[in-house]
Structure 1
Amino acid sequence: MSDAAPTHSLFAPREVRGIVLGLTLALFLSSLDQTIVATALSAIAGDLGGWELMPWVVSAYLISSTVTTPIYGRLSDLYGRRPVLLASVTIFVLGSALAALAPTMLALIAARVVQGLGGGGLRALALAVVGDILPPRERGKVQGYLSATFATANILGPVLGGLFVDALSWHWIFWVNLPLGAAAFGATWFQLRRLPLPGKTPKIDWLGAALILCACTPLLIGITFVQRERSWLAPEALLCFGLGLAFTVALVAQERVAAQPMLPLQLFANRIFTAAICMTGLASMVMMSLVVLVPLHYQTVAGLPAREAGLRMIAMTMGTVIGSFAAGQAVSRTGRYRALLLGGTAVATAMCLFVGWFGLGHSLAVDSVVTLALGLAFGCCFSPSTIIVQNALPPRDGGLGVSCMMFFRLMGGAFGVAFLSSLLLGALPAGASGAAAEPAFAMVFEAAAAIAALAMVASLMLKEIPLRGRE
């Protein structure tokens, strides 16, 4: 797609609604499979054995779906969204069938890798297609729907996983993807036929793609070692981080000379793109960490049972959904986004400090207000960020820009959970609970506030430029 040939005018409102429905389904599929397995792990391990390999059932999908995200974005810019998205759905459904039929834990982990290879494309391209069918000024509502879909999948995943295990078997958490995947394939096949293909034959930077995989995979595996060993200085983690750094240097060298680089370095010369990437990565560090730490705080410090701790997280999740919708509407109506990001990061900083200083679990009303405010803040951060990135880049780089944003968001979340969890475990006395654990949690929430403040600084660096319309 050239800079001068936007495709927004090709699609009537009725067609846009049909496309968005298909994209929502694709995004729901990829996001659901990141969380639906959590409540089924014990049943899977009890059936297949291999308890020591159980964490890799989750990590395999997370790693493969994350590292392929920027590659899918670039391929879709070069070959077109529709064929690459169809390939992603096919790979994801194939991986789901293999996972449902897996006879051993190792076979299941391998199938989860295949699933992730497809899931990375579903997640990246669902956002990129919106940039093809709507101008930036009109994308706010749709981005709100997609952000809400992502949050809803995170809520329903553990619930559906538990229901399938109790009522049927763990195999059904994968079988259910086949009809859903078929519906997503059909919607993509019919609804996106009118998307134009790139005009010239692309030259693929396969070495760059391989180096992206080689650079990112060790980093994510290193994070899993940090979480398992509870230390950033674990030898396995240091080895993985060293490999990741070495391949990153090689990746930068390759992309500087490639004719059509898989990851064009000039994108990072765009200050709006870079600031938006930094903001969303830092905000994701805080949000994903709080999803883990807040329930743990409820149980360890406040002494609440796991069921009640989970119920008290509903306010934050609903806040994220509402914030995403509201932010999307506001961007579409006003064409402005900077105030939303500043407000969201400022509220997140303030609420993290509040939790660090006063704690949670004392009052249901206070907990609901604080966690709802956190959810609203994150919704205001994430929903506009996709629009900002696409508006700042030429249409030919739209898919890559969005996939890079999603990649850094996922990497930020993974590093945030590892960093703040290891900080907590390093400061928490063995077996401590109640008042004895409170200082350790206070320190962690204050660290989260510092990260949110850095996200606010990145928001300040964002220059607000007019959003492109159909003209």
Structure 2
Amino acid sequence: MPEPAAPATDSLFSHAEVRTIVMGLMLALFLSSLDQTIVATALSSIAGDLGGFELMPWVVSAYLISSTVTTPIYGRLSDLYGRRPVLLVSVTIFVAGAVLSALAPTMLALIAARVVQGLGGGGLRAISLAVVGDILPPRERGRVQGYLSATFATANIIGPLLGGLFVEYLSWHWIFWVNLPLGAAAFATTYFQLRRLPLPGKRPKIDWLGALLILLSCTPLLLGITFVQRANSWTAPEALGCFGLGAAFLVALIAQERSVSQPMLPLQLFRSPVFTMGIIVTALSSMVMMALVILVPLDYQMSAGLSAKDAGLRMIAMTLGSVTGSFLAGQAVSRTGRYRPFAVLGAAVATLMCLLIAFMGLGHSLPLDTAVTLLLGLSFGCQFSPMTVTIQNAVEARDGGIAVSCMMFFRLMGGAFGVALLSSVLLGHLPDGAMAGGAPPEVVRAAFSTVFLAASGIAGLCLVAALCLKEIPLRGRS
């Protein structure tokens, strides 16, 4: 087994070096996160230029699927080969995919290029979070994880805006060309600032079959979710086929990882109750957050009759709440050395706010909407950055990369399942033609009330998991 990169000590990185490294990590994370949102507003323009309107959703799905399924693989490779070389490869692949996307002559070529770009994006997300574990001890990581979580939320805010500006004043190609200078800056920062990170001392033995089985099990599951959303049915033949195929490969993956000495996905991580419960909290909170990011603006439009612009403006409170909550919770974890209270508080507030919206509704009063959605955003932020520290602190340093990659993977999978599940609840309680405005407002409000009740149930399960989370001391500097 190769020796892991040692945790940081006072003599390894100065505070100035840590700040510079964190800025580079924020840039890398911003790259991968921005790409998920900047493309959405340009889809119609892209399809108008390249044709193939029926393929538009796959421009987004191709990146999402390829970046998600490769996340745990990148995390494990960074544990075995070191963060710096794997992160440099990720940046290079991501930028190459961006160039191919900008030059794509057809929609199919663009989708293929987006797969390539996603292969790099998965590494950017996973390793950016893992590097923090190499330069700071757990007790000091909270504030940095808060910055990284805020970066993720900021990319979600400005992505649609930038996409719209590029399409209106330049062309859709610029949503990809903009990645070149950003990618070059991320590459340079990684190359120069991370040279002092320790590398494993022995040549690792890579579980390539395990890596292949991760891809073969996760890809059908994500495709199945996509088909559920397209057909609005969990029993659609395409979805059931994908779920069955993914489950079969998942069984094969578990058997493979149990039989090798250096597995790509170390199953012993899940023997830690803190790690396992942290993953559950992360997945459940992400189910609620990602679904509500999509369904709350839809509620504003369908129930209250607000325009898309006004609905988007009212979402600012939730987004700012998420950024602020991540930052403040991260700072508090570093000061107090405790993470469990923030997970419990975040889940409790999310449960209460979803219940309040279910019975009160949205769109009646701007101050009330702002207060409720702000608290909802704060609750999400209180869970994300503390959970990253929790999961890293629960494992050995040699498994830091795969641990945080598992967290990111389950966060993305939870979000995808949450969107599909709560969207199905909504559409199942709406009459035919309601999405086109053909239903009484009372019927629409009742359907959204059911959605928020279901969301409160998921948030309640998250609260139970947070209460079961064991508090263990955060390691300080050695």
Q: TM-score range by the shorter chain?
A: over 0.9
Q: Given the alignment of the two structures, is residue 429 of structure 1 paired with residue 424 of structure 2, yes or no?
A: no
Structure 2: which 5+ residue stretches go unaligned? none
User: In the TM superposition, what is the alpha-carbon distance from 1:3 to its structure 2 partner?
Assistant: 6.6
User: In the TM superposition, what is the alpha-carbon distance from 1:460 to its structure 2 partner?
Assistant: 1.1
Within 1, Cα distance between the matches of 2:3 and 2:134?
A: 12
Q: Deviations over 1:100-148 (max 9, x none)?
A: 0000000000000000000000000000000000000001111000000
Q: Name 2:73's counterpart in structure 1.
A: 71
Q: Deviations over 1:418-470 (max 9, x none)?
A: 01101111111122252121111111110000000111111111110110011
Within 1, Cα distance between the matches of 2:414 and 2:440?
A: 29
Q: Given the alignment of the two structures, is residue 374 of structure 1 paired with residue 376 of structure 2, yes or no?
A: yes
Aligned 1:64-463 pairs, distance under 5 A:
64-430=66-432, 431=434, 432-463=439-470
User: In the TM superposition, what is the alpha-carbon distance from 1:7 to its structure 2 partner?
Assistant: 3.1
8 A Cα contact 1:301 1:433, kept in partner: no
Q: Name 1:8's counterpart in structure 2.
A: 9
Q: Deviations over 1:326-347 (max 9, x none)?
A: 0011001000111111000000
User: In the TM superposition, what is the alpha-carbon distance from 1:2 to its structure 2 partner?
Assistant: 4.2
Q: Given the alignment of the two structures, is residue 469 of structure 1 paired with residue 476 of structure 2, yes or no?
A: yes
Within 2, Cα distance between the matches of 1:282 and 1:250?
A: 26
Within 2, Cα distance between the matches of 1:351 and 1:464?
A: 26
Q: Deviations over 1:401-425 (max 9, x none)?
A: 0000000000000000001101111
Within 1, Cα distance between the matches of 2:264 and 2:199?
A: 18
User: In the TM superposition, what is the alpha-carbon distance from 1:259 to its structure 2 partner?
Assistant: 1.6
Instruction: Look up the equivalent residue of 2:335 and give its one-letter code.
Output: R
Within 1, Cα distance between the matches of 2:220 and 2:345?
A: 35
Within 1, Cα distance between the matches of 2:5 and 2:405?
A: 22
8 A Cα contact 1:303 1:434, kept in partner: no
User: In the TM superposition, what is the alpha-carbon distance from 1:309 to its structure 2 partner?
Assistant: 0.5
Within 2, Cα distance between the matches of 1:2 and 1:103?
A: 47
Structure 1: which 5+ residue stretches go unaligned? none
Within 2, Cα distance between the matches of 1:121 and 1:8?
A: 25
For 2:304, what is the secondary structure of its paired residue? coil
8 A Cα contact 1:8 1:132, kept in partner: no
Within 1, Cα distance between the matches of 2:368 and 2:429?
A: 27
Within 2, Cα distance between the matches of 1:49 and 1:258?
A: 47
8 A Cα contact 1:2 1:395, kept in partner: no
Instruction: Look up the equivalent residue of 1:80 and give its one-letter code.
Output: G
Q: Deviations over 1:282-310 (max 9, x none)?
A: 00000000001100110111111111000
Within 1, Cα distance between the matches of 2:62 and 2:228?
A: 16
Aligned residue pairs total 471
User: In the TM superposition, what is the alpha-carbon distance from 1:5 to its structure 2 partner?
Assistant: 3.8
Instruction: Look up the equivalent residue of 1:376 and give its one-letter code.
Output: L
Within 1, Cα distance between the matches of 2:277 and 2:163?
A: 37
For 1:20, what is the secondary structure of its paired residue? helix
User: In the TM superposition, what is the alpha-carbon distance from 1:83 to its structure 2 partner?
Assistant: 0.2
User: In the TM superposition, what is the alpha-carbon distance from 1:8 to its structure 2 partner?
Assistant: 3.4
Within 1, Cα distance between the matches of 2:93 and 2:199?
A: 21
8 A Cα contact 2:5 2:134, kept in partner: no
Within 2, Cα distance between the matches of 1:354 and 1:15?
A: 46
Q: Deviations over 1:34-90 (max 9, x none)?
A: 010000000000000001100000000000000000000000000000000000000
User: In the TM superposition, what is the alpha-carbon distance from 1:200 to its structure 2 partner?
Assistant: 1.0
Within 2, Cα distance between the matches of 1:433 and 1:154?
A: 33
Segments of 4+ in structure 1 off by > 6 A? none
Structure 1, 312-321 or 454-463: larger mean CA deviation:
454-463
8 A Cα contact 2:142 2:386, kept in partner: yes
Within 2, Cα distance between the matches of 1:349 and 1:8?
A: 40
Within 2, Cα distance between the matches of 1:419 and 1:32?
A: 25
Question: Structure 1 length as normaliser, TM-score?
Answer: 0.99
Within 1, Cα distance between the matches of 2:417 and 2:5?
A: 39
Within 1, Cα distance between the matches of 2:192 and 2:91?
A: 14
8 A Cα contact 1:93 1:177, kept in partner: yes
User: In the TM superposition, what is the alpha-carbon distance from 1:4 to its structure 2 partner?
Assistant: 9.3
Within 1, Cα distance between the matches of 2:354 and 2:6?
A: 45
Q: Name 2:40's counterpart in structure 1.
A: 38
Aligned 1:40-59 pairs, distance under 5 A:
40-59=42-61
8 A Cα contact 1:300 1:433, kept in partner: no
Measured on the aligned residues, the alpha-carbon RMSD in Å equals 0.9
Change in 2 beyond 3 A, CA 1:418/1:356: same
Within 2, Cα distance between the matches of 1:285 and 1:390?
A: 21
Instruction: Look up the equivalent residue of 1:442 and give its one-letter code.
Output: S
Within 1, Cα distance between the matches of 2:466 and 2:187?
A: 37
Within 1, Cα distance between the matches of 2:40 and 2:9?
A: 40
Question: Structure 2 length as normaliser, TM-score?
Answer: 0.98
Within 2, Cα distance between the matches of 1:437 and 1:26?
A: 41
Within 2, Cα distance between the matches of 1:282 and 1:184?
A: 32
Within 1, Cα distance between the matches of 2:468 and 2:92?
A: 40
For 2:405, what is the secondary structure of its paired residue? helix
